[in-house]
């Protein structure tokens, strides 16, 4: 089943001579359960693409369909709610709230959505990510790798069907990088999630089911690695 689809997606910034075509006609279909890497040079449009796929910003033109719903037909309030329920974001800067504990950070998006968190499920996620014992710590008391795991836990907590990650291992050393990818794969399988991840790390991309190469706002190459366990 196709869970995420973009059709002729364009995002232009500015106008006239200063116009930047950050995305210039991207069409893409992601299968449910797929782990896809987005690679490409700095400034090629990767983050813009991820933001559009997740409905964080409206495109200049084109459509994005998530689980059968064309998301840019929704108004801003509807889109915010849809995003909170369906999509989990992991950014390179962890964006944890420093005065809240790890546990409180993780349940925050669900609480904003007016849902009561399920403590057992949250503990299970923290356990899977190996930071169960850090639940009551403040983010500042954690290492970079642990903070990144907390950010992943937060993305998983609302049980989104899609995880969008923008260089989730960008600030980590190679060992933590391997670990975080392993955990993303594990949790993705465990919780039946589709993962689209931007990475600069070629070795990491090779471990994904599929590598989507973005160049000048277009998809220059889209390759299945063949080693993926989710392949249909």
Shortest Å distance, C-beta 38 to Mg ion = 9
Torsion of CA 19, 23, 24, 30, to 10 degrees: -170
Q: How far is the CB of 205 from Mg ion (least distance, A)?
A: 15
Q: Is residue 64 packed enough to be buried (19+ CB in 10 Å), middle (13-18) or exposed (0-12)?
A: buried
The verdict on 42 binding ligand ADP (CB under 6 A) reads yes
Rounded Cα distance between 23 and 70, Å, is 18
Is residue 59 near ligand ADP by the rule CB under 6 A? no
Contact call for residue 47 and Mg ion (CB under 5 A): yes
Half-sphere exposure of residue 222, counting CA atoms within 13 Å on the CB side? 8
Q: Least CB distance from residue 224 to ligand ADP, whole Å?
A: 22
56 binds ligand ADP (CB under 6 A): no
Number of residues that bind Mg ion (CB under 5 A): 1
43 vs 130 by CB, closer to ligand ADP:
43
CA 166, 80, 209 angle in degrees (round to 5)? 35
48/193 with CB nearer ligand ADP: 48
CA distance 104 to 106: 5
Nearer to ligand ADP, 46 or 134 (CB): 46
199 scored as a contact of ligand ADP (CB under 6 A) = no
> Minimum distance between the CB of residue 167 and Mg ion, rounded to whole angstroms?
7
Length of the chain: 232
Q: How far apart are CA 153 and CA 131, in angstroms?
A: 9
Contact positions vs ligand ADP (CB under 6 A): 13, 20, 22, 40, 42-48
Would you tell me which residues interact with Mg ion (CB under 5 A)? Answer: 47
């Amino acid at each position: 089943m196709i869970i995420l689809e973009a059709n002729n997606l364009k995002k232009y910034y500015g106008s006239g001579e200063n116009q930047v075509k950050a995305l210039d006609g991207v069409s893409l279909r992601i299968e449910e359960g797929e782990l896809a890497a987005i690679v490409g040079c700095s400034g090629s449009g990767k983050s813009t693409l991820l933001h559009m796929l997740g409905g964080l910003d409206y495109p200049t033109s084109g459509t994005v369909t998530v689980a059968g719903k064309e998301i840019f037909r929704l108004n801003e309030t509807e889109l915010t709610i849809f995003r909170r329920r369906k999509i989990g974001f992991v950014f390179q800067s962890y964006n944890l709230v420093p005065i809240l504990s790890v546990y409180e950070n993780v349940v925050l998006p669900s609480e904003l959505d007016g849902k009561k968190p399920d403590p057992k499920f949250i503990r299970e996620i923290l356990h899977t990510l190996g930071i169960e014992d850090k639940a009551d710590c403040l983010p500042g008391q954690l290492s970079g790798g642990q903070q990144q795991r907390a950010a992943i836990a937060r993305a998983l907590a609302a049980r989104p069907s899609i995880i969008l990650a923008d260089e989730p291992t960008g600030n980590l050393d190679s060992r933590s990088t391997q670990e975080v990818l392993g955990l993303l794969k594990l949790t993705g399988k465990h919780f039946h999630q589709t993962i689209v991840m931007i990475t600069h790390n070629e070795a990491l991309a090779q471990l994904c089911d599929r590598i989507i190469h973005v160049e000048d706002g277009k998809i220059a190459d889209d390759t299945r690695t063949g080693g993926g366990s989710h392949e249909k």
